[in-house]
Structures are given as C-alpha cells and as structure tokens.
C-alpha cells in the first residue's frame, strides 16, 4: 500500500544573512512525512533541525525549494492562508512553552479557537475538556507562571490540540523540563500518535528518545545525514489518520474528541 505523503520538503535551502555574511543553515533538504507517522529530526545544536521545523510550521519561508503540504506549495499561498494553516492544521509545541502570561490556562488553550472566531462558551468548554484529559482541571483559572514547567508544557500541548489539527509539531518539548516531567510529556506525545493517530514531528538532540518515533531523520550541518526507520507506520494507523483528516474539515463543529 502506497503511503500518503502529507508534508514534503523539496530541495529546501535556507540562508541567513548575518552582518553581511551568508550562513547556509539548510542545504537541499528532501524529506517526506507520511500520514500517521511519528518522525524525529535528530542532530546536534546548530544542525538546522529547528529551522527545518520552522519551515514546516509556516514560520520561515525557505530561500530555495518548496514545502508541499498535501500537494500544495505552502509558501505559494497568501499570508492569510499560512496563518490559518498554523492556527488549524498544525499544533506547535515549543521548548519555552510560550504561553501568554496575561491569560488563564483555560484562555490560553482557547486562544487558537478564539482566533478562529469560535464563540466563548464552546471554546472554553473545549479547553476545559482538553485540560481535563491532561489532568489539569484544577488549574483552569490559574496563570502560567503559577504552574510548574511540566504542567505548562502540558498546557502548551493542549493548546496545540485545541483546533484538532492533524499534525503536532514539537521543538525540543522537554528541553526545559526535569526528567520526570520530560517523561510525562514524551508519554503524552507518544499517545497522541499511537492512540489519537496524530502525525507527530519532533526536533530533539536527546538520544534517549530515539526509540519513540517510526522514523528518525539525522541532520548534520544543514543536510540529511541518514534516515533510519524503526518500524513502518501500520496500515491501520494511516487509515484512521485519513479518516481523521476528513473530520477535520469541520474542525470547529467537532466538539467531541475520541
């Protein structure tokens, strides 16, 4: 059975200009991500893995090459569409959690829905429901600084799930966490892939996590060094994911989540 490719980087290069000097961060990257897959970008600091993730998230247009999302070039779209892609098609989890300190936990989770124009009650209900799933119900009205790092990262994951996206993108999600919190967060992400059938992309430099994904893309000096497949994506996972994708068209109407 042919694998369905959801995201494909085609000859992606990225060059930054720093004080007149050109620094090439990504060179001719060709990577495909399949539906339902858990892919890890692994490499040392400065290998360009975060930049690649930013390109995939619609945050950094490549200098050369294309990013194809479901057959369409993402950066060929309008700014408006790219923003909408970030809001509803992917969920981003950052190393620094990146929660808004002026909002409560619940409001933070509901923010992507608010940005989409969802009404107050429905988005707050959904936020509460999602937070319940990660065991943070009693913190709904707290503000981010009152929570531990692990709790904040769980909030951030919940926010990434608010619009029910089909891809979860994590940039060193455990980088600022103690090992116990890190294990919890990794477990949640693993379950998102295995149980909730989300496609997961993760950037890490921690070798302990190499057993989690289906496939590991090793990056070195802005180039793909090698790709290692731990195990194939099961046909069932892919199928479920396709079905999920169909449901996602009516994201905001989909209140219940299995």
Partner 1 sequence: MKFYDIIALSWKNLMANKMRSLLTITGISVGIATIVFLVSLGYGLQALSIRKITAISSLTTLDVTPAQDSIEITDSVLKDFAKIDKVEKVSPLLSFAGQVTDADKKTDVVAYVVDKDYLGLQGSKTEFGGLFTKDDQIVLSSGVAKALSLEAQDLVSNKITFTGYTADKDGTLIKNEGEYTVAGIIDDTSSAFAYVPISSNFVTASTAYNSVKVKVTDTNALASVKEAVQSKGFKASSIADTISQVYQIFSIIQIVLASFGIIALFVAAIGMFNTMTIALLERTRDIGIMKAIGVRNSTVRAIFLTESFMISFLGGFCGALSGILFAQFINWVINILAKSVGGQAEKLFYTPMPIVLAIVVFSLVVGVITGFYPAKRASKLNPLEALRYE
Q: What is the DSSP string of 54-80?
A: HHHTTSS--SEEEEEETTEEGGGS-HH
Q: What is the dihedral of CA 243, 248, 254, 258, to 10 degrees?
A: 40
Residue 252 within binding range of partner 1, rule CB under 8 A: no
The CB-of-78 to partner 1 minimum distance in angstroms stands at: 11
115 binds partner 1 per the rule CB under 8 A: yes
Kindly tell me which of 160 and 202 has the beta carbon lying closer to partner 1.
Answer: 160
- If binding is defined by CB under 8 A, does position 79 make contact with partner 1? yes
Q: Give residues 131-170 in contact with partner 1 (rule: CB under 8 A).
A: 159-160, 163
Return the range that interacts with partner 1 (CB under 8 A); candidates 17-25, 115-123, 191-199, 204-212: 115-123
Contact segment (CB under 8 A) with partner 1 among 31-39, 80-88, 127-135, 221-229 equals: 80-88
Token pair in block for residue 178:
């103690």
- Using CB under 8 A as the binding rule, whether residue 45 contacts partner 1 is answered as no
- State the minimum distance, in angstroms, from the CB of residue 116 to partner 1: 8
Judged by CB under 8 A, the number of residues near partner 1 is 32
Distance from the first to the final alpha carbon of the chain: 26
Q: DSSP states of 115-155 as a string?
A: HTT--HHHHHHHHHHHHHHTT-GGGTTS-GGGS-HHHHHHH
**How is residue 173 written in tokens?**
């999600």
Beta strand 64-69 with 5-18 is antiparallel
80 forms part of the interface with partner 1 (CB under 8 A): yes
Sheet of 215-220, strands arranged across: 90-93, 167-171, 199-204, 38-42, 215-220, 223-229
Q: Which is nearer to partner 1, 23 or 228 (CB)?
A: 23
Is residue 23 close enough to count as binding partner 1 by CB under 8 A? no
Instruction: Return the range that interacts with partner 1 (CB under 8 A); candidates 114-122, 191-199, 212-220, 222-230.
Output: 114-122
139/209 with CB nearer partner 1: 139
The span from the CA of 197 to the CA of 195, in Å, is 6
The candidate with the shortest Cα–Cα distance to 15, out of 3, 26, 1, is 26
| Binding footprint of partner 1 on the chain (CB under 8 A) | 54, 57, 59-60, 79-80, 83-88, 92, 94, 96, 98-103, 111-112, 114-117, 119-120, 159-160, 163
């Amino acid at each position: 059975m042919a694998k369905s490719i959801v995201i494909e980087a085609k000859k992606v290069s990225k060059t930054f200009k720093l004080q007149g000097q050109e620094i090439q961060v990504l060179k001719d990257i060709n990577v495909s991500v399949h539906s339902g897959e858990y892919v890890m970008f692994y490499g040392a600091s400065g290998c360009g893995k975060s930049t690649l993730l930013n390109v995939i998230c619609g945050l950094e247009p490549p200098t050369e090459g294309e990013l194809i999302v479901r057959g369409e070039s993402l950066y060929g779209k309008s700014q408006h569409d790219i923003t909408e892609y970030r809001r509803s098609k992917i969920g981003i989890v950052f190393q620094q959690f990146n929660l808004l300190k002026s909002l409560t936990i619940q409001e933070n989770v509901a923010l992507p829905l608010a940005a989409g124009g969802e009404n107050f009650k429905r988005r707050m209900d959904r936020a509460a429901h999602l937070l319940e799933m990660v065991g943070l119900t009693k913190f709904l009205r707290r503000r981010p600084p009152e929570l531990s790092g692990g709790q904040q990262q769980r909030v951030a994951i919940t926010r990434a799930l608010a619009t029910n996206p089909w891809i979860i993108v994590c940039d060193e999600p455990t980088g600022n966490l103690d090992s116990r919190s890190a294990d919890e967060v990794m477990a949640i992400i693993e379950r998102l892939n295995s149980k909730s059938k989300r496609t997961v992309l993760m950037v890490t430099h921690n070798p302990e996590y190499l057993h989690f994904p289906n496939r590991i893309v090793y990056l070195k000096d802005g180039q793909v060094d090698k790709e290692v497949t731990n195990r194939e994506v099961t046909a069932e996972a892919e199928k479920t994911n396709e079905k999920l994708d169909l449901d996602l068209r009516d994201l905001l109407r989909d209140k219940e989540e299995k």
